[in-house]
Every structure is written in structure tokens, then in C-alpha cells.
Amino acid sequence: MPASAARDPQAAIGRSPERLTLDERVALTGKFIAVEVYSPETLPLQVIEAIGDSVEDCVRQLVARGLDPQRFEFTPLKPPY
């Protein structure tokens, strides 16, 4: 069984923010996520590429994976309701 992002935030990597369960969304409220900025060239799916307590955490994760942080937008997860 895959780990729940509520227990392990890294389990949210590669998933769409809209596909997080209610429990995951509540547990991750206030965390920052990085999703690729939309452009006609890339047409990215809106998936979480990094998650952390700050934008700096997200940038470190992206750089560690060889991704350019300038191609991403960083937003805090809001409560589900």
C-alpha cells in the first residue's frame, strides 16, 4: 500500500493537488508546493514536484532533482474547506 501524504509529505510528489484526499489536504495545509508554470510548449499537468515548509525547501528539492526552480510556481496549500 502506498504511503499517505498525510504521514509522508513526499508521497504527494507527482500527484495533482486536486487528487489529495481530505485527510492529506488537512495534514499538508500550510506546506508550500511547487508546480510547473504553464506554457504552451510544455503543457504540464498540474502535479506537485516539491513540497516543504518553505519555498526554500521546495527550491532545494527541485535543484537536487536537476530541475530549474524558475520554471515553477510556489503556493501554500490552503485548507480544503
User: Is the pLDDT score of 7 beyond 70?
Assistant: yes
User: Between 38 and 65, where is the model more confident?
Assistant: 65
Between CA 80 and CA 23 the distance in angstroms is 9
User: Is the pLDDT score of 34 beyond 60?
Assistant: yes
User: Between 78 and 1, where is the model more confident?
Assistant: 78
Query: Does an H or E element contain 52, and which?
Result: strand 50-52
Reported as a single tens digit per residue, the pLDDT across 41-78 is 766 678 999 999 999 999 999 999 999 999 999 999 99
CA angle 63, 64, 70 (to 5 degrees): 15
Residue 72's pLDDT is what?
Answer: 95
The residue whose grid cell reads 520554471 is 71
User: Is the pLDDT score of 1 beyond 50?
Assistant: no
Residues of the chain above pLDDT 70, percent: 93
Between CA 41 and CA 2 the distance in angstroms is 32
